[in-house]
Structure 1
Amino acid sequence: MTRPAAKGGSRASADRLARLLNLVPYLLARPGIEIAEAAGDLGVTERQLREDLELLWVCGLPGYGPGDLIDMAFDGDRVTITYDAGIDRPLRLTPDEALALVVALRMLAETPGVANREAVERALAKIESAAGDLVGAPVAVRLPGDTERVRELSAAVERGRALRITYYTAARDETTERTIDPLRMLMVAGRAYVEAWCRRAEGVRLFRADRIDAVAELDEAAVVPPQARRHDLTDGVFRPSPDLPLITLRIGRGDRWITEYYPCERVEVDGDHWLVSLRVTDLGWARRFVLGLGPDVTVLAPVELAEQVRAQAAAALAAYATPAGAAPSADQAVGAVTQ
């Protein structure tokens, strides 16, 4: 019985075949090249290259006799192809491969914050030139969040100008006017951000592009103080820390998505409900968050948050001014109460 190939074996064979097909035209263009230099260019070890050369010796045209097989000459540690058996050109991209590379490079070139965009554009130009008509079909690349506002901000950042923006801060549910000195544009989890020195806060801040309601480019260059430090966004924009408020909620089945969308410090099963603890930027944001979840959520801690939720729910009920005796209590309308 034939044993199945080891996992990854077929992939390794395919990689070696592609390497062998490109090896012959590579060596033809460099007669007498040192094996060590060739191995470095091709990204393999000298041992692997020698094994590839030994395999090439038994490859060639049908008939596989003298004059049919690939032949080469060795002079010490140098190698020269003396017969190529017709394999004198490197592999060409298929139409799908060429188009995929073009789309990927165009997307990379449009991504805010790319450090060396010129290198990307040079590589794109070379591939488009080599592929010719294969990529002649019109292709429009649009990134998530790639709006006119993002393009406007990117252009202003590249010009190195200070900006005056009108910005909505969701955590505090307020809109403020700010003057900022941009450092860079970023794309994190599909959202565009401007990282900038905020003169109002006197610190480096991240401003989400879709929350900038208005922007005006000033007639002055952006000046970033030497003490400004860029954010480490390896783990995302929001990084929970012990100094942030910790809230604990008792949630029903319909709100379990919270544990996948937000970083939670603790998740415990409590019958049909879950007990979830997570850090928040401030209690104002947490109050609006809880009120938006609906009646199957209970605030367990802190007490201050439960009282804020109860008070706002009561105020909302009072605004509707329903007949006496017919209005439900705040506790019935919103399940966010202290236990």
Structure 2
Amino acid sequence: MSEIAASRADAARERVASLTLLLMAAHDSGRPLTQDEIVDRLEVDDPASGRRVAAYQGSDIAIRQKFERDKAQIRDNGLRLSSLQGEDQLYRYSIDPAETFAPAVEFTDDERRVVALALRFCGFGREGALALFDGGAPTPGGLQYSAFYTPVVRAIERQAPVSFDYVSRAKVRRREVEPLVIRVIEGVSYLVARERDESGWRVKGYRFSRMHSMPAVGEGHIAASADERALARVWQPGFSKGEKPVDVVVSTTSEFAQIVTRLHPGAEVVTTKKGRVEIGLVFDDHYQALRFVLEGGERLRLIAPSTLVKALREWLKSVNTMDAPDGADLRFPPTTKRSSLGQTLAMLSAIHNSPEGLRISDLAERFDMSPALVRDLMGRLATFEIADSGAGFVYPARVIKECEDWDHEETDDSTYRVTYEPGDAEAPTLTWAHLFELNVALREATGLVRDPALYSAMAKIEEIAGEFVEVTDPHLDNLAELVAHAITDNQALKITYLSPHGTEFTQRTVEPRALQSLNGRILFRAYCQLREGWRTFRLDRVGDVLAVSPALGGRPEDSEREWLSSTSDDGVEVTVVADVQRRYLFESLPHAEVLPLEEGRVAVRFRVLDPSFLDRLMVMAGPGARVVSSTHSAAGRELAERWRAQI
């Protein structure tokens, strides 16, 4: 970026952040502002002259365009910008902080510690609340971020209806629903809500990634019954209350049976004379049963029911055959950049959430920014002032700068801390989206540590927002806790492990260094003594922990800093077109680029390091996806035919 372009970007960033603070102050004072009043009052720093200048300059058309862009960015970050038309026909604007920021949660030191641990395990990563609780570099997010959580959680807390545009089948349709709960299933978030159709009220699920506009919180109070609320908490994708359960019988090895029964505790198990293990399970519907068999792959042999055996044959026959456009004709939009407004507000919240204040170096590390940018941006916001008829000037950012060497302020590692005037309310720090993130992360972390602070922190969140989240339990016993202790205590674990292609366990001695959740799977990074290198392991493929011993140490540094979501330039770029039922398999891949197509389909572009991973993914997608890039165009077909021949 050129110096001029960078200067313009910094000016726009300061302008929209200052506008947000101004409109929050306008709401608190009870005096919403017209566009002309905003243009007249809002000033920003001009680095060239060293003076404060008007934030909006140029012709009336140019000013209007800038103002509309800034309003759009504010709304895109989940902030509810109110515009009311007065008797003079002029619109007046304000932002109610309570629509974005939740009431303050007073965590104890122990609760702050477990919150930080949980967010590193399963949070939004750079977009989330980790920087508000924990120092150090940000981690990749194991939970998919969406600004849409803020209004939805607020609507559930208020028991108010919500409306949004939603991609369904071939069209984008407006949905007006009564939100009941957010369900997180295998790492994917669904809003479960009541919606009225021609047959009356029904409980339905809406995937956050398919929402096409910022949800708008409506007026009124929802009237869901106790039965409807209970149904919402057990809702599943494809769930139908009247569907007949499907009884499934499969045969497998004793090793893989150990993993299946851990993930499905209610399964019935019988060992045959030939040493094979037959497992009986019950699924809510036909598709869930088929998905279970597909995930097991060649390690499972489907015995019954015969209708499912037939369906499996047809599914495998149709792998990677869907009609799809030519990959060369697809045009992906530029990759979306991180929100500068969201990042700026998060930095202010981090300072407000740190009683001792934060140094410029702390902020730079937490938010992955250069110290120079932090120094420049925070310096401007700390001095941003608004004229107030009663109090003279007010500083809505509520931060002050403490510099140890004012003669060298431009290089000093200054500290920013929160400041209050008499009568000021406590500055908000956590958004409603943060409360969702914290609640999910804390629930996921209950499998890592047995700490009362986890449950007391969750109770404080739900005291404010209600019981608004349901997270599926991965049924991994105490494995996650053992790995977490190995990381903390610098231990090595001797484990049995089932590789992605294997049918039998191998023994590995591993030295875990990190543990995180991604898309409903728990993974850990460890040095593998067998492979003599750093590897990523899936926790649900661990059979047993045979022994615990001190780690040897002296291992080479792990070259994969972002191992959870790493994409290598050495990987091969692949484009897949998926239909509305199977798009979820591809949309959630790390760093995937998504292009919406007609009839609810999407094109997804991502990088593949291991072709066998793509083979398995295409088999899971069956007739609902097609590789349209020239590379790996036949992915999954050979695997499907080999498996089909064994049925």
TM-score scaled to structure 1, two decimals? 0.47
TM-score scaled to structure 2, two decimals? 0.28
Which of 1 and 2 has greater Rg?
1
